[in-house]
A = this chain, B = another copy of it.
Amino acid sequence: MRSCLWEVQVVTSFGIGRVVESTDDKYAKGEIVTGPFLPVAEYCVVPSDFIIKKIEPNGDIPLPDYLSCLGVPGFAAWVGIEVLGEPKAGSNVFISAAAGGVGMYAGQLAKLRGCRVVGSTGSDEKVILVKEEFGYDEAFNYKKETDLDAALSKYFPDGIDMYLDNVGGKMLEAVLNHVNEGARISLCGMISEYNKVWTEREGVRNLLNMVGKGVRMEGFMVGSPSHLARLGDFAREMEGHLRQGRIRSKHKIYHGVESFLESLQSLFSSSNMGKVILQVKPS
């Protein structure tokens, strides 16, 4: 297998880099490429099979968009909403972690389908952001409206038809008390659960509601072969939205490899807004 040495410029688990050296004819020094699961490092050597895309350096799409709207969060939002959720025009859609990397695109995609969209998030500032910037119809701060059942009764008087879950635990349980017949739940991630041993997690006690309401709940990883097979469809649709100005992004860029821990920690403290990007070297 041929390999090439990259100068890593911008890195998340999915990253963008400039080729520094290459033993693979397909990639030349100076080219900009993307690949999944890059290490947090200024330089790295990777098998060239890991590269999934070359980016035109003078294209009309800014580099960070390849990591957000056209990267993992955008693709996750698209799979969760369009592939698994399939909401119809007029459906009542709920999205947790609405101001996060996935949530911001999920809400916008559901709005583009003609849905009524409500989000939950962790600060009043983010409530304003998702409503004013991302077009959510309603949003609430779960740290203030701590009675989740009451909040969902208030924001979903006609019940929930589709839920994109980014948090798990108590929020998922509350949603299952408000689902309509045939509701869909896409499980994208469960930020409330990651840092716990599973036996210490709070269980969801009302899965029986899924029987009575005929609910379908499906978990997904964007890296699974069945979803990756749709990457081309996603890229075409999302680049269209982006070029037509139908999708907005918010990025929080941390600078320098030494900021890595701070950037990672922001995901767990409710302090981040939009997609968190770590730029390990100045471009």
Interface residues of A (CB under 8 A from B): 168, 172-173, 181-182, 187-190, 193-194, 198-221, 224, 226-227
Our pick among B172, B202, B221 for the contact of A212 (Cβ within 8 Å) is B221
- Closest chain-B Cβ to A86's Cβ sits at a distance in Å of 13
Residues of chain B with a CB closer than 8 A to A219's CB: 207, 209-216
Our pick among B198, B208, B212, B224 for the contact of A214 (Cβ within 8 Å) is B224
Let me know if A198 and B208 touch, CB within 8 A.
yes
- Closest chain-B Cβ to A205's Cβ sits at a distance in Å of 4
- Closest chain-B Cβ to A217's Cβ sits at a distance in Å of 5
By secondary structure, the A interface counts as mixed
Q: How far is the CA of A219 from the CA of B214 in the complex (A)?
A: 5
Residues of chain B with a CB closer than 8 A to A203's CB: 173, 202-205
Q: How far is the CA of A189 from the CA of B209 in the complex (A)?
A: 10
Q: How far is the CA of A211 from the CA of B181 in the complex (A)?
A: 23
Residues of chain B with a CB closer than 8 A to A204's CB: 203-205, 207
Our pick among B187, B209, B226 for the contact of A210 (Cβ within 8 Å) is B187
Closest partner residue, chain B, to A202 (CB atom): B203
Pick 26 A–B contacts, CB within 8 A, sort by A.
Answer: A168-B208, A173-B203, A182-B224, A182-B226, A187-B207, A187-B210, A188-B211, A189-B211, A190-B208, A194-B208, A198-B206, A198-B208, A201-B205, A201-B208, A203-B203, A203-B205, A209-B219, A211-B220, A211-B221, A212-B221, A214-B220, A214-B221, A214-B226, A216-B216, A216-B217, A216-B218
Interface-centre pick from A172, A188, A205 (highest chain B CB count, 10 A): A205
Known A198-B206, A210-B217, A214-B224; further 10 A-B contacts with Cβ < 8 A:
A168-B207, A182-B226, A189-B211, A190-B207, A190-B208, A198-B208, A201-B205, A211-B219, A211-B221, A216-B218
- Closest chain-B Cβ to A177's Cβ sits at a distance in Å of 8
Closest partner residue, chain B, to A207 (CB atom): B204
